[in-house]
Structure 1
Amino acid sequence: MLIGTSKGLPGEFLLLFAVLIWVLFFLIYLGNRQNKLNRWCFISGMCFSMGVFKEYLYFTLFPYIMQVWPGWMTEALSVRIYSILTAVLYYFAMPAALVFGFYFSHMEERRPILFRWARVLVFVPALVFGILYPYWDTRYYQLYDRTYYLCAAIYNWIYGVLLTVLLLGTLWRERGTPVYRQKMMVSVLVLVPIWYELISAFLIHLLGLKDFFKAWQGNLLIILILIIFYLYNAFKGGFMGARFKHEAYDWDKDGKLVNQSAQFLQHMLKNEVIKVEWCAKNIQESAYGESADFAGIILRSTARLKGLATKALDYSKDIVLDRQVYLAAPLLRDCVSDFHKLSPDIEVEILCDETDELLCDRAHLTEVMNNLLSNADEAMHGQGSIVIEGKRFGKTGYAICVSDTGDGIPKEEWGQLFSPYYTTKTSNHHMGLGLYYCRNVMLKHGGSIEAKQNKGRGTTFVLRFPGL
């Protein structure tokens, strides 16, 4: 096939197609750059985008360059670039998507040894293809070697089936959980364009249906729909870590906007509270009876206001860790000791091996545990039980699970649990920064925090720390 001769969408539409794919997957990546699901979804999407981008380069841009600046591009070089980008699509897109599937199914937690091998081995066939069929000659094999094309098709289809089994199996296993709906939407986002690509780019060509050779370009419409689908869910309640609101939200890496608003709040309140506090003290000293009582109420309120402003600033500013290795059991017992005094009617049980070690910042972990225990206390109305379990996951990771027997969290609240200034509590001493702070602490540790609805009653928060 000569360069520059192709039926199908005009070059401008192919470029738009590629840009739309990049926009979609950059949105996914920026939604939560710390999340490995987002990362591998982005990597896979970029590999798939090469299928469109190479068409634009080969059939539109390169012919133009050869005509206007003939010394900059030759047909041989254009074919080589086309071949390499085709190899990226054929060999690496599906393995990257399969690694995404591994994380989607929590293989790193359920089968850590298999996961460590699988995420490497899935790329071995891509390297073998590169040896048997050099990447820079892919265009030749694509056009003239039917055996090669059949092998590439089977390779991609096998990976597509494995990915589908992983995603659907996870959905079946996690049906009824709070994350089910989110994961179902993610599965749609991933599987629909992939299977359209597998059918239109491989099956149609193998069957020799020449009139439909450009059917893969129909993915343009699918990508447009998926971008709308993504944005709708991101605005509605959050999707893959992104929530579009006029506020700073939990995946803002530095929490700068929240910190700025907390600084503004503290500065705004400081002078006014001092005035009110000074007046109240003077009234209290010169008054008696009911007036003195009213002055006392004002003084207690001003003290509370100052405390809230300080706490907001502490929870929103950048977190600096002083990580050391601690024995988990005594550390957790220390975290619980004060809680026992404040909530004597709540039974707290700590389950972990006395030899377990944990690399963390002691002060910040203590504050995280205080937040979780306080939330559990309120959810149980001062009576019930809490189980704190420490356990290994993977090879060196450590997880702390805090489970209560409280009222649980309403389904509609799950998407906003870790958002700043969001709270379901009715008492006036809550600012909605506790879980936001907990999430920031765990991210600084390189770990994560997750909430799960218990099957019976209550909620479990899981803190995952990376290995020593």
Structure 2
Amino acid sequence: MILSIALWVIAAFIFFSDRYNKINRWFAYCYLLASLGTLKEFFMDKVVPVLLYRYPQVEISAYVTANSYVTAFLYLVSPLCFITLSMKFSDLDKNNKKAFLMIQLLTVLIISVYLFIYPPAQFKFFQLNRVDFWYCMSLYNIGYAVIGSIIMFRSVKNESSHEIKRRKRIILEVLLLPYYYCIITIFVIHTLNLDGLKKIWKDNIYLVAAVLLFYIYIAYKEGFMGVKISFTKYDWHSEMQIANTSTQYINHMLKNHIAKISWSMDNIRKKLEDNQLEELDIIDRSMKQLVSFTEKTNKCFSPKIAGDELCCSTKLIYEALEACNAAHSNNIQVTIDNKDEVFIICDVQAIIEVIHNIIMNAFEAIAQNGSIDIASFYDKKSFCIKIADSGTGMTADQMKQIFKPFYTTKKNNTNFGVGLSYCKSVMQVHHGSIEVISDKNTGAQFILHFPLKRIKSKELAANG
């Protein structure tokens, strides 16, 4: 039963990867047909004994007959399915429709002859008592497997595109190994009457499991038969994820209504002689604050990363600091210790904004006559930029909440509590992190951790 489920999983993956693709569909049909063999054996070995016990009035011959019909369908239709897949794989159904139809009609004729010689209701009897049955079934199934394989290999060989040829070759690896294993372990072994190996087909579970893992690996690395698997890392238990969907809806609603109010205000100002009414100015300021709020929250929840560039850590720090100095003229001493100067692969503007936000918070945490120390260094697993201030610091409870969206300790109308949430989101997109160390009245330290794969030394950067 486990083997059947594994085959169903592969079939489902391939079918729903691109269910409108003819190759995907027939590929899935082949795996579903293969699962019938293991399913009928499970039914006879595990289910039928239970049914005989519970429903003794139903004779075992009924179950044997049902098994015979399923076996007939499997043995006779599988080659038809495989040859159809091989012809569609090589576009024979488009390039030579006459040959495609002739092969299918010939296959249907062969199936009809076999049904006349070996009635499907007696397939179980033929399996156990007729050697000629196994020779005929082996000739039919192995013959069609070889013919179908030749058609597909010719298609790969004649393919002009190197990339398509490589992808077709991978498809054959996924399909042919388990298919030929089934054929050999069923038809060759039974035809040669190798009693000790007649149940070896059950080991196909290991091969199918390997094929499934290989399929997932290829789908993750480069895509396979219409599907590409990707993984996104996020904090599933954080308020950030919980708030994201509802906040997007609210922002969308606010933008629509702000646009209506703005249009109405413009019309009112045109109609009134005194267009400097204090009430209209209040509404205008409130709208600007709402616009600022929506822009900041959108940036917080969905940080837009333009792309990776190589930028010197010194440049990142000084450009972020320059904007802060323009906003704050307090008597605050800023020192920079950038002895471990490196180049960081990052979205330059996003990282500058992260550093800027943290430095601005440091300025605001210091009333007067304080200091901000900025340093860069390596720890065991990352390159770090640390921003430490001598401000008021934070309590343990505040430290637990500072990265939560909309949490703020600032009592004004311009801070919405999304700055540090944005910083955390940007660092996560860069596969890094942000750490905070603080105690009340002893200042705070914010440490940005960049993964080493994003760091290049000055020498490596100079060499490209």
Per the normalisation by structure 2, the TM-score is: 0.50
Match of 1:420 in 2: none
Match of 2:167 in 1: 182
Q: Distance in 2 between matches of 1:233 and 1:272?
A: 47
Match of 1:50 in 2: 36
* 1:99 corresponds to which of 67, 70, 84: 84
Match of 1:331 in 2: none
Alignment of 1:420-431 (within 5 A): none
CA displacement, residues 336-362 of structure 1 (integer Å, 9 cap, x when unaligned)? xxxxxxxxxxxxxxxxxxxxxxxxxxx
Q: Distance in 2 between matches of 1:265 and 1:161?
A: 62
CA displacement, residues 294-345 of structure 1 (integer Å, 9 cap, x when unaligned)? xxxxxxxxxxxxxxxxxxxxxxxxxxxxxxxxxxxxxxxxxxxxxxxxxxxx
Match of 2:215 in 1: 230
Match of 1:349 in 2: none
Offset at 1:181? 2.2
Match of 2:45 in 1: 59
Q: Distance in 1 between matches of 2:254 and 2:166?
A: 42
**Matched AA of 2:214:** F
Offset at 1:86? 1.0
Q: 1:265 to 1:121 in 2, by over 3 A?
A: farther
Alignment of 1:152-301 (within 5 A): 152-174=137-159, 176-245=161-230, 267=252, 271=256, 274=259
Q: 1:118 to 1:265 in 2, by over 3 A?
A: farther
Alignment of 1:278-427 (within 5 A): none
C-alpha contact 1:54 1:82 (8 A) present in aligned 2: yes
1:23 to 2:2 alignment: no
Structure 2: any 5+ residue segments left out of the alignment?
233-244, 271-464
Report the secondary structure of 2:162's partner residue.
coil
* 2:133 corresponds to which of 148, 155, 158: 148
* 1:128 corresponds to which of 102, 110, 113: 113
C-alpha contact 1:50 1:88 (8 A) present in aligned 2: no
Q: 1:179 to 1:55 in 2, by over 3 A?
A: same
C-alpha contact 1:24 1:227 (8 A) present in aligned 2: yes
* 2:93 corresponds to which of 100, 108, 111: 108
Q: 1:118 to 1:70 in 2, by over 3 A?
A: same
C-alpha contact 1:83 1:136 (8 A) present in aligned 2: yes
Q: Distance in 2 between matches of 1:32 and 1:16?
A: 25
Q: 1:105 to 1:84 in 2, by over 3 A?
A: same
1:78 to 2:67 alignment: no
C-alpha contact 1:45 1:93 (8 A) present in aligned 2: no
Report the secondary structure of 2:99's partner residue.
helix
Q: Distance in 2 between matches of 1:277 and 1:237?
A: 48
CA displacement, residues 79-122 of structure 1 (integer Å, 9 cap, x when unaligned)? 11111111122111121011011110011222122223333432
Q: 1:24 to 1:269 in 2, by over 3 A?
A: farther
CA displacement, residues 222-280 of structure 1 (integer Å, 9 cap, x when unaligned)? 11111111122222232112223479xxxxxxxxxxxx9xx97995796399489979x
Report the secondary structure of 2:163's partner residue.
coil
**Matched AA of 1:125:** I
Match of 1:386 in 2: none
CA displacement, residues 123-170 of structure 1 (integer Å, 9 cap, x when unaligned)? 332222112111111011111111111011010011010111011111
Q: 1:246 to 1:272 in 2, by over 3 A?
A: farther
Q: 1:67 to 1:154 in 2, by over 3 A?
A: same
Report the secondary structure of 1:179's partner residue.
helix
Q: Distance in 2 between matches of 1:177 and 1:278?
A: 58
Q: Distance in 2 between matches of 1:32 and 1:206?
A: 38
**Matched AA of 1:55:** E
1:32 to 2:8 alignment: no
CA displacement, residues 25-54 of structure 1 (integer Å, 9 cap, x when unaligned)? 122111111111111112222221111111
CA displacement, residues 165-217 of structure 1 (integer Å, 9 cap, x when unaligned)? 01111111115432222211111111111111111111122222211111111
Q: 1:265 to 1:80 in 2, by over 3 A?
A: farther
Report the secondary structure of 1:185's partner residue.
helix
Q: Distance in 2 between matches of 1:276 and 1:243?
A: 45
Report the secondary structure of 1:33's partner residue.
coil
Runs of 4+ in 1 over 6 A off after TM superposition: 263-266, 275-279
**Superposed CA RMSD:** 3.2
CA displacement, residues 379-398 of structure 1 (integer Å, 9 cap, x when unaligned)? xxxxxxxxxxxxxxxxxxxx
* Identical columns (%): 27
My pick for the range that moved more, 122-131 or 150-159, is 122-131
Q: Distance in 1 between matches of 2:144 and 2:82?
A: 9
**Matched AA of 1:52:** T
Q: 1:134 to 1:270 in 2, by over 3 A?
A: farther
Q: 1:275 to 1:38 in 2, by over 3 A?
A: same
Q: 1:36 to 1:176 in 2, by over 3 A?
A: closer
Structure 1: any 5+ residue segments left out of the alignment?
1-14, 248-259, 286-468
Report the secondary structure of 1:178's partner residue.
helix
